[in-house]
Each structure stands twice: as structure tokens, then as C-alpha cells.
Amino acid sequence: MHYTKDDSANASTPVEFIFMGTGTSSCVPHVDCLTRPPEAEPCLTCLSTLTPEGKRNARRNTSAVVRLRSACSEDVTILIDCGKSFQSAAVEWFPKFGLRRIDAVLITHAHADAMNGLDDLRGWTLRGAIQLHIDLYVSMNTFKEVQRAFPYLISKEYASGGGDVPEFKWHIIEEGVPFEIGGTGVQITPFAVHHGRIFTPAPPVEMPITPHSLSPASTAASSPNVPGTPLHAEDLPTSSPADAIQPYLCFGFIIQDAITYISDVSHIPEHVWAMFKSRGKVPPVLVLDCLRILSHTSHLGIEDSVETARRMGAKRTYLLGFSHDLQHDDWVTITEAAGGENHEGSKLALIEKHGLHGLREGDPIWVRPAFDGLRVFVSGEGSVRDEGYSR
Ligand SMILES: [Zn+2]
Ligand SMILES: [Zn+2]
């Protein structure tokens, strides 16, 4: 079930958020963990996914669906990221949650786990199966990466075989410039965070952009915040010259003042924090990257995730992007401790002790691990509930 027409009468903008995937780029389980010889050390996280009890340890690429109401009280369905595991996620969650039409796709960045499922959207548009086209919202850099990797998704003259390709309408969006999904009244604010670094300069990509493949309103747009843009001065390590380290930039999104979504991040620049502050109110839900206990070049570890959640101050923070290092229940134990629950004296696994040890002292905050298929509801008044956690 989802929000019905009746709900909109007493809630200005109810938002339903569905986690399509909550795992790292390689997904969980790993094939190598499932096929290890008996004498090798078993991976309990991956093996558990073969049992009903381990269902929450099975994690596809990070992705989400946001369903909310347009100004005319019509359902608006937004897909965030369409990576390698999109098709199997859609097969599982679209029928279960009554999803069908996709009004917009937002792509955070041009990694495979965020965009390599775009081809599967042909299932929506081929011969108008569900709709005639899908609107995609991406940075200029992501647009160029799609053009380089999958030219036929931009321009049909590159299609081959039977020519059965999806119908897209591309919209170029820029950091810090809010945009509206079609004429729905639904407002999205993109912002750029660091997601690791660029190891080699990208080769120039200068295939011609076919004018009809871009929406008229966006053809003149360009993004100054593409990989290759120098770091902001306050974010530079003092010992590194500006041209030595280039951050790879990834979009996060603020959706209708209800949800802040940051799926892939190693560092949030101060000017982005300033933008959050300038908005005056904190969206009640934060969705945030957490790969594992220790931080990583491209992702947050639990210590930085909890510190980021504290600084943001959302009512609820849901973590996603997990590797197979820990099981779901381990993450629950660790995040409960961030909320002030005392697990001392409990029988804890070594990995849980490591996770607890990594948390810094600070104000208690509500943080939990998301899992595939978890639904979160934000009322028009900003209250939050979900279908996974009773506390
Ligand atoms: Zn494993
Ligand atoms: Zn990535």
C-alpha cells in the first residue's frame, strides 16, 4: 500500500521513500564468498543471504524510489540511480509496492553502479509499454559519460541490431540550482560532494551532442562542477597543490524539503554545509553513505557517517552502501549505540566491538542501517515512520 488520495487531504506533501538497493558497487553477496572451498574461512554475511533470516544482508546497488504528490495530487515517481542491479531490484520491488510509471530519473554520478542499468529502462518505453519517454536529470559530466559509454542512449544513430533502445529526454542540472520535475511542483536541489578522487585526467569527450537529445530548456546549461574542477580552497590539504588532487564529484539531492540523499560521499565540502544551513530547516530524513567500519577513499566509514548525521541533525538517518564486512544486525547494534543505547555487558561479536569502538562521544542521534525494500514515510508535517524499525 502507499499513500492514497485521502492522505493528501490532511498532509501537505507526504513523501514515500523506498530503498531499491543498499549495497556497495559489487553488491552483496559476492560470488567468491558463495563458492569458497570448505577449508577456507566462510563469509557469514554472504552465506546468510541463502537463508530467509539473512534476507537483509542481500544488498543491491544503492538506488531508491521516491513517490510523492504533484501540485495536482497526482502520483509522481522518481528513481534515483539506475545501476547494474536495477533490473532485478525493479522486478522485486515494483510489483510489490505498486510502482509502474517513472516520472523522472536522477543520476548521482557516472559510476557503473549508478548508471549501467539505464538500458533496462527500455522496458518502460519500448512501443510505449508504460510510457513514451523517461525524463533523466544529470550533470553535464554524467551526460558526457553516458554519451561516451552508451552513445545509443543519447542518439539513436548509434543504435544497432533491432534498434530497441529506450526513449530518454535529457535534462542537464547544476549544483546548487533547484529544479522542478516537469510541471509537478516537486522541487529538487542538487549539490556536489566529493566521492573519492580522479586518478588520471579524463580524456576529452567531444562527440557531438545531438540537439534533439537534450531538452530545450537545458541545451545552454553547463556544469562548472565536473570532475577536474579544482577543490575549494578550504577543502585542500595544506600540503597539496590545487592541481595535484582532483576530487571526483557526485550529486546528492534534497527532495521537497523532506529528504537529503547522499549515497556516495567521502567528504562534504564546507560550501555545501553552508548551503544546507542557508535553507533554514533540516529535512527530517537523511540517507547517507556508510561502506564499512573504516573510512575509504571514496566512501564514509561509520565514524564519519555518525558525525555527519550529528552535524546534519535530521530526525532520522538511514545508512546505505554497505560492503559484506558486517551483517545487518551488527549495524543495528552499532547504530543503536550512536543513539545512546548501552550495549556494555551484552555478548557482542568482535566486529561489533570494533564498530562501537570507532564511534566518537557525542549527542545521541537516531541512525539505522537501511535494507533493500525498506520503506520510509515522511508526513507533510515532517514526522517520520518506517516499516523496519519500531524504535
Ligand atoms: Zn562475502
Ligand atoms: Zn561511485
Q: Which residue has the higher pLDDT, 358 or 205?
A: 358
The pLDDT tens digits of the residues spanning 73-85 come to 899 999 999 999 9
State in Å: Cα 29 to ligand 1 middle: 6
Distances in Å between the Cα of 371 and the Cα atoms of 107, 117, 118, 214, 366 are 20, 20, 22, 35, 16
| Residues pairing with 65 in the sheet | 18, 79
* Pairwise pLDDT comparison (54 vs 7), residue with the higher score: 54
Half-sphere exposure of 320 (CA within 13 A, CB side): 29
What distances in angstroms separate CA 37 from CA 33, 34, 40, 45, 47, one per listed residue?
9, 9, 6, 16, 13
pLDDT of the residue at 301? 95
Write down all domains in the chain, each with its CATH number in brackets.
5-235+243-386 (3.60.15.10)
Q: Supply the pLDDT for residue 355.
A: 81
Give the pLDDT score at 231: 47
Q: What distance in angstroms lies between residue 321's CA and the mean position of ligand 1's atoms? A: 14
pLDDT at 212 over 50: no
Query: Ligand 2 centroid vs 67 CA: distance in angstroms?
Result: 24
| Amino acid letter, 299 | H
Give CA separation, 95 vs 101, 143, 163, 165, in Å.
Answer: 11, 30, 28, 23
- Report pLDDT for 309: 97
Ligand found nearest the CA of 299: 2
Instruction: Determine the Cα–Cα distance for residues 321 and 304; give it in Å rounded to an integer.
Output: 14
Taking the centre of ligand 1 as the mean of its atom positions, its distance from the CA of residue 32, in whole angstroms, is 7
Distance 295 CA to ligand 1 centre (A): 19
Average pLDDT of the chain is: 88
- The arithmetic mean of pLDDT across residues 47-66, rounded, is 98
Residue 101 pLDDT: 98
Q: What is the pLDDT of residue 214?
A: 62
In a 13 Å sphere around the CA of 206, the CA atoms on its Cβ side amount to: 2
Residue 138: strand pairing partners: 172
Q: For residue 383, is pLDDT > 90?
A: yes
User: Residue 209 — pLDDT band, cuts 50, 70, 90?
Assistant: low
- What is the whole-number distance in angstroms between the Cα of residue 148 and the centre of ligand 1? 33
**Does the predicted TM-score (pTM) go above 0.85?**
yes
pLDDT at 229 over 70: no
- Give the CA angle between residues 246, 248, 250 to the nearest 5°: 150
pLDDT digits 0-9 by tens, 141-172: 999 999 999 999 998 888 888 888 999 999 99
Distance set, CA 282 to CA 93, 221, 258, 382 (Å): 29, 29, 8, 10
pLDDT of residue 54: 98
Is the alpha carbon torsion for 277, 278, 279, 280 positive or negative? positive
pLDDT score at 68: 95
Distance CA 126, CA 129 (A): 6
Window from 134-143, 148-157, 242-251, 360-369 with minimum mean pLDDT? 242-251
Selection from 172, 175, 188, 22 nearest residue 93 by Cα? 22
Statement: residue 207 has pLDDT above 80: no
Cα of 326 to ligand 1 centre, how many Å?
9
Positive/negative CA dihedral, 46, 47, 52, 54: negative
Q: By CB neighbour count within 10 A (0-12 exposed, 13-18 middle, 19+ buried), where does 290 fall?
A: buried
